[in-house]
Every structure is written in C-alpha cells, then in structure tokens.
C-alpha cells in the first residue's frame, strides 16, 4: 500500500483563507497559504505525529507536535483549558484481588490495603463558570497516593476518544470550544465549527455515537462509569508485560436524564451534579465504584478485529471480560474547594513501578501535554509541592529552587552522583521504576498504521447495541445538534457518514433535518465490519433495579394528609432513596391535623426535574389552589413528560387532570406503595411515544 493511501484518517476540505502571510500552494479545494510552524517551516503532515515506526512511540524530536501542543497548553491561564468545571472528592481505594502475577505495583498486589485518593469528575468543553449538565463528556481522574508514589489514572466516562493522534487535540478543542469570533456557544457541541471538524474527521465517528447517546447527560456523577481509555502495560517481577485497560463501574448503576429534563435542570440548578455529590457525601451515603481490568497479551491483541492502540476503539467485554479487583469509595468533601479541587494537577505520566505505557499515539502526546499544561496553569515546576498534589510517601531528589519553592532543602550538594553527602537520595535499581523491555524497530515516519483505518465498524456496533429507546434518543440528539449548524453542506456531510454506521439512522436524521436527498456515504478507508452487538454498551439494559442514591419529591399544600405523606416517605427511604418535601411556601404547609410540616424547598424553586420520581399529596382545597399555579402544573406535567413514576391521592389526581396529564402504569395511588416503589426504579419508557416526537 502506498504512503498516500495509508494516510487514511482525514477527509480533506476547504477552509477560509487565513490572514497569515506565506507562499500560496495549490491544495485540494483551491489556493491556500502554506501551513507552517511558528518559525515559517512548511508542514507536510498536520494529522500524524512522528513515530519510531507504524506502531511505535512518539518521538521527542517531533518539533511540530511539541510546538503545536505547547502553544495550545499555554493559551489560557489559570483556568484549565479543558475540564475546567469539576467536582473533587477525597476517598480511598481498596484492593480485593491481587494482580501479583502481572505486576509489581503494590497498590495492585496488596489485598485489603486502603490507599488514599482524590477523584475529580468534570465536564470538558465549558469554562469554570459554566453549568454542570450540558451534553458533554465527563472527565474521570483519580490520584492514588500509593506507597510508591502518586499514580494518576486520568480518563473519561467514555472508553474511546475523538482522535487517534495527539497532534489533532488542539484542533478538536478549538473546534468544540466557543467560536472565537463571537464567544459562544459555551459548553456545547451544537454549532458549526465542531460539526465541520467532525465531518472532516472520520475517525471521530465512534466517539460521536457515544456523545450523542444518553451517556453524556448523566443523572448524577455517582452514576457514571470511568475508563482509562488507553491500553497500558503491567510489568511483573520477571520483567514480563501484559496489556491492561482500566474500568470504573458505579455501585448505583448507570442512569441518565431525558434531554428536555436536562435543559430544565440547567435552569433550575446549574450546580445540580456538584450539589448531588455534596449532599451524598454529607449524608454519609458514600459513592462507590468497582475497579475492574481487562488483561490481554500481545498475541491475543494480534487476533482482535481492530488495533487496541487506537484510542477510538474499545475492547468489548464479550471479547475480553472485565475482572473486578477492587473498589473506590468517596467519603470526604474537600475542606477548601480552590486549594484542593482547583489546584489538583493530574498527569498521565504519573505512574508507579509495575505500570508502564503503551504506544497509543494519543497517550504518547498526553504524556507531554499534561505536565506542560500544569506548568502553565499553576505557574511553577514545584506544583507537586501543593498539598493536594504531594505524595503521601517519603519523596526527595536533588532538584532545587524554582518559582514557589516551598521546601527548605539542606546540604551542600544539588547534583547526582556525588560523594560529598551520605544522606543524598540514590538510585534503587532493584525496586525503582523500569520500563517494559520492548524492542522498537522500523522506519520513523508520520504515517498512521493501516490498522487504524477502520472508522465505522465500532460506531455501528455501538449503535446496534442500544435499545430502541436509546437509538431514538441518539438519533434525536443528532437532529437537535445538526439543526443548530448553519452550513447545510456540513449537515449533509454528517448524514453521509451515518450511512456507513446504519442506513436507518441516516434516514431518521435526514428526515429530522428535512433533507430531501441523503448524500452518498464517503469512501471508507477500510471495509466496514458487522460486529456482534454488545449489550454491555447500553444504559437502559444495564440499569439496576434499585432506588438507592435517588431522590423522590413529595408535593404538599395546606390540608395534605400527614399519614399519607409519612407512609410514602417511609417506603421511599426504606428503598434507599432520599425524600424532599416541596410546598408552595418554603416555610412548609399546615396539614389536615393542623400540624405544621416543614418543607425542604419552595415549589417555584424545586421543580420535579430535580427528582427521580414524585408523589403529589393534596387535599381537595389544596388541589384547587394549585390548579391555577403554573409551577404546580409544570411540576406534574414535567414529571409525566420525563417518564417518571407519580404517586397521587384524590387531590393529586385532580391536579393531574387539571394539567391534562394522562394515566398509565407509572401513575399509581398513594395507597399502593409497592407499585410506586417498583415504578420509581425506572423510567416509564412506553410512555415516551405519547409525550414527544423522536427521530
């Protein structure tokens, strides 16, 4: 195969002429100024970093990669360029099954040991002042304070990524961020620059399926998965290495919201996810995740129908089962948000003996980019001395001085080796970090491996693995996002890509966009495979039959029956959920027996979008009063429209009738507590076709 054909990862298109000077070269689509480095050197390939060989590691000599990412890393200070909006919590990791045969890392070999950690979960695209609930990927970063130093497992709640090579990361983020000429939209992908970039980057199609799914509108940060994304290596005491992928699985199970619900939550509580995590921690209902690994050898990887070093690919659980080896519990809120959550600095390059990197080209770029970003953001090479970043094991070296130096090193020597100090740190060959013994040969180049050429097969697998409801949500999300794109040719290009993934999906989206003709699919760089669906990729099919970690709202007013309220409250709390009392006034309501029941929130400020299910317990008079209150009408109408279970007494039923809310299996009488609890554990999916039009 020729080099030109092997450069398979970008659809070339036209761009607006820039203002930069330089010689004009003939390229596909017309005359354009030459793309150059900041030193004026023409760039022959802006899509691939320089690697030692087709599957080799990235090379430090790649000045184009370093210049591009360095500039990107230093664009903004001090806010994080990505993952600016985050929530951090202290906790611990407990190993339950040893991986001693695979690794020497003590955190993965000492069963029963509890290792302190700090986890930060974040949105990606918005600034620190944006909201918690946009349709967005969630960063999932864990800093383990191990006995052998800090290990940072820096991933997302999605197991794949948009791009295959780190050299494209600045372009991706520039495309998804607010458009530079207008400063909006904030924390949103529904705009032209993002979809223009995606339409020209076929390797992103798998990730597009994930971000348009319900995975990116989670109900709670306590109900998301986490993934290390890349393949890493484990190294045992014999020097043998095994590939590993890391997974976090929430004990509460997965749960997402409905898009209309998400939009309304944003208005009702911009801090919805952060508040939810804070309330869970302070209530003592500590969030917990299982920690699992996928282990495989090079020989096994050679048989996969994809390249595991390609970060746009995942390894289906049906191919390599997950092995649960531990758990993470988050049990302490930071004492100071800025000092800890904002100043914590994660770097994928922070690993411990027994763990090593793979040649994933995105990971290779991240190893440089993250520490460079922290240097810019925190202003000093001594950022590791900030308490939240400092190891909890003994550490020391002969590095000195620098801005914000907080340690007072004593002694005469600041170099190594030396013979003038008996106390200076020394190498420890037997227990120190060593890299995997891997032979690298081949011709260095900027050519991507042919095994990275399949951009559509796993995208198709993801879509066909979803339930019918989830497929409808995904198609509707694409229609919504692309309807915000002004340039018709970008919409058409995206629909054309969808034809490779699923013809029905392409036509559903085309119909939603009123496209009369669906363009032909672009040429695929590799044949599209029909992979076996993986039920593990669903949300609805994986939801746990539980109310634990959820919240039920009870709407009351003057005259409500106290015994009914208490019965519902007890049933909900016995099922593991929290209860919030909502009343027209924040002071509460006077019940039928003339006692006063305090409210947790006022009706206008605590709408039903904040709850997983609701109960409406009203007297006839109370129902009459609320029948002319728009917040009360919206409360029950939204609960029904968002497919939630609703428990009602006679007064509650009257309010539903006033709001023109229908009856189905999810609307139950308050006397049937068991039926309400059963219905509250899930959404009433069969109701959806009655309340909204989906693609």
Q: What is the pLDDT of residue 29?
A: 52
Q: What is the pLDDT of residue 532?
A: 96
283: Cβ contacts below 8 Å, ≥ 6 apart: 578
How far CA 11 is from CA of 102, 203, 204, 603, 685, in Å, comes to: 41, 10, 12, 52, 39
Low-confidence ranges of the chain (pLDDT < 50): 1-28
What is the C-alpha to C-alpha distance for residues 11 and 526, in angstroms, rounded to an integer? 14
- The structure tokens listed for 172 are 């991706």
Identify which of 132, 285, 159 has the alpha carbon closest to the alpha carbon of residue 221: 132
Q: What is the pLDDT of residue 279?
A: 97
**Biggest alpha carbon–alpha carbon distance for the chain:** 90
- The structure tokens listed for 364 are 């290779």
What is the C-alpha to C-alpha distance for residues 473 and 424, in angstroms, rounded to an integer? 61
Q: What is the pLDDT of residue 24?
A: 40
Q: What is the pLDDT of residue 76?
A: 62
Measure CA of the first residue to CA of the last residue in the chain; give whole Å: 41
Global pTM exceeds 0.85: yes
Residue-wise pLDDT for 493-547, tens only, equals: 999 999 999 999 999 999 999 998 889 999 999 999 999 999 999 999 999 999 9
Q: What is the pLDDT of residue 18?
A: 34
Domains within the chain, CATH numbers bracketed: 63-385 (2.40.180.10), 451-541 (1.20.1370.20), 547-691 (3.40.50.880)
Q: What is the pLDDT of residue 21?
A: 37
Active site residues: 83, 156
């Amino acid at each position: 195969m020729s080099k030109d054909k092997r450069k398979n990862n970008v659809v070339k298109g036209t761009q607006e002429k820039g203002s930069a000077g330089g010689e004009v070269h003939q390229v596909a689509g017309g005359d354009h100024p030459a793309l150059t480095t900041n030193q004026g050197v023409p760039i022959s390939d802006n899509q691939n970093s320089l690697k030692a060989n087709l599957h080799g590691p990235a090379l430090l000599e790649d000045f184009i990669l370093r210049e591009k990412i360095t500039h990107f890393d230093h664009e903004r200070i001090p806010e994080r360029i990505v993952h600016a909006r985050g929530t951090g919590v202290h906790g611990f990791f407990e190993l339950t099954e040893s991986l001693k045969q695979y690794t020497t890392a003590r955190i993965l070999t000492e069963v029963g040991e509890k290792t302190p950690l700090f986890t930060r979960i974040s949105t990606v695209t918005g600034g620190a002042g944006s909201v918690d609930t946009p349709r967005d990927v969630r960063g999932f970063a864990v800093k383990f304070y191990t006995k052998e130093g800090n290990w940072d497992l820096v991933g997302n709640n999605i197991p794949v990524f948009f791009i295959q090579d780190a050299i494209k990361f600045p372009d991706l983020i520039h495309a998804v961020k607010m458009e530079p000429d207008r400063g909006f939209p904030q924390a949103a992908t529904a705009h032209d620059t993002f979809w223009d970039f995606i339409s020209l980057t076929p390797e992103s199609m798998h990730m597009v399926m994930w971000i348009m799914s319900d995975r990116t509108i989670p109900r709670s940060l306590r109900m998301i998965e986490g993934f290390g994304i890349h393949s890493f290596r484990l190294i045992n005491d014999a020097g043998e290495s095994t590939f590993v992928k890391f997974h976090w699985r929430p004990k509460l199970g997965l749960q997402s919201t409905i898009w209309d619900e998400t939009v309304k939550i944003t208005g009702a509580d911009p801090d919805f996810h952060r508040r939810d995590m804070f309330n869970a921690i302070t209530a003592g209902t500590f969030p917990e995740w299982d920690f699992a690994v996928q282990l495989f050898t090079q020989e096994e990887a050679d048989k996969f129908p994809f390249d595991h070093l390609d970060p746009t690919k995942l390894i289906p659980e049906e191919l390599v089962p997950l092995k649960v080896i531990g758990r993470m519990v988050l049990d302490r809120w930071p004492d100071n948000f800025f000092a800890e959550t904002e100043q914590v600095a994660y770097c994928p390059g922070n690993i411990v003996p027994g763990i090593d990197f793979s040649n994933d080209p995105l990971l290779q770029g991240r190893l440089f980019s993250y520490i460079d970003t922290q240097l810019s953001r925190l202003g000093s090479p001594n950022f590791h001395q900030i308490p939240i970043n400092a190891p909890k094991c003994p550490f020391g070296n002969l590095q000195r001085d620098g801005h914000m130096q907080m340690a007072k090193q004593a002694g005469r020597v600041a170099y190594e080796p030396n013979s003038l100090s008996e106390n200076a740190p020394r190498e420890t060959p037997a227990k120190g970090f060593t890299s995997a013994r891997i032979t690298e040969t081949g011709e260095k180049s900027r050519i991507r491996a042919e095994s990275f050429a399949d951009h559509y097969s796993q995208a198709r697998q993801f879509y066909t693995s979803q339930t019918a409801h989830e497929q409808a949500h995904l198609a509707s999300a694409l229609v919504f996002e692309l309807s915000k794109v002004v340039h018709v040719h970008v919409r058409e290009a995206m629909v054309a890509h969808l034809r490779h993934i699923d013809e029905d999906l392409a036509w559903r989206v085309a119909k939603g966009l009123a496209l009369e003709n669906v363009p032909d699919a672009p040429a695929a760089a590799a044949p599209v495979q029909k992979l076996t669906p993986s039920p593990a990729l669903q949300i609805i099919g994986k939801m746990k039959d539980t109310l634990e970690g959820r919240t039920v709202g009870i709407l009351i007013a003057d005259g409500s029956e106290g015994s009914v309220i208490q019965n519902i409250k007890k049933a909900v709390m016995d099922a593991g959920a929290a209860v919030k009392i909502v009343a027209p006034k924040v002071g509460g309501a006077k019940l039928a027996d003339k006692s006063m029941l305090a409210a947790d929130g006022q009706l206008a400020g605590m709408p039903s979008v904040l709850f997983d299910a609701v109960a409406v317990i009203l007297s006839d008079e109370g129902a009459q009063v609320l029948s002319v209150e728009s917040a009360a009408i919206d409360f029950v109408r939204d609960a029904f429209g968002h497919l939630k279970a609703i428990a009602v007494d006679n007064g509650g039923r009257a309010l539903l009738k006033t709001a023109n809310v229908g009856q189905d299996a999810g609307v139950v009488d308050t006397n049937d507590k068991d039926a309400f609890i059963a219905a509250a554990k899930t959404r009433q999916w069969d109701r959806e076709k009655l309340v909204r039009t989906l693609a």
